[in-house]
């Protein structure tokens, strides 16, 4: 079953995501965030490079995107071809929101981002 960015992903694990016909396998939400960044970099490097300077792409107190490993960043991970770090220590819901914001900056419809789940542990909680 295909899911989208409008759903609640608490207690759910991703298997893959798809954007613009490219499907990428992931093991967790952190990897989905990084791989989304890598894919968006391939689409247009200039847009993702502007994220550290865009107040809409960062929190009020916490930096999500930076060209340096900021001490305030939680679990920063670097994109593959750009010296850009993304904070990855977030809940599934927060990662979903960050990805939604990233896609909006590219003027891509939220419904174009498809999520495939590996597991749903909702009933256990």
Q: Establish if 105 belongs to a structural domain.
A: yes
CATH number of the domain residue 91 falls in: 1.20.1380.10
Which whole number is the average pLDDT over 6-12? 89
pLDDT score recorded for residue 117: 94
56 lies in a domain? yes
Tokens 């107040």 belong to 55
pLDDT of residue 123: 64
pLDDT surpassing 60 at residue 125: no
Alpha-carbon gap, residue 75 to 108, rounded angstroms: 27
Distance CA 72, CA 76 (A): 9
Indicate the number of domains in the chain. Answer: 1
Domain range spanning residue 96?
29-110
Global pTM reads 0.92
């Amino acid at each position: 079953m295909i899911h989208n960015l409008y759903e609640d992903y608490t207690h759910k694990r991703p298997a893959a995501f798809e954007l613009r016909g490219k499907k990428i396998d992931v093991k967790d939400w952190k990897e989905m965030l990084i791989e989304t960044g890598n894919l968006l970099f391939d689409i247009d490097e200039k847009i993702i490079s502007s994220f550290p300077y865009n107040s809409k792409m960062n929190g009020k107190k916490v930096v999500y995107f930076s060209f340096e490993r900021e001490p305030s960043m939680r679990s920063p991970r670097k994109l593959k071809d750009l010296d850009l770090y993304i904070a990855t220590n977030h809940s599934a819901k927060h990662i979903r929101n960050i990805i939604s914001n990233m896609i909006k900056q590219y003027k891509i419809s939220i419904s174009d981002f498809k999520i495939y789940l590996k597991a749903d542990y909702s009933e256990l909680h």
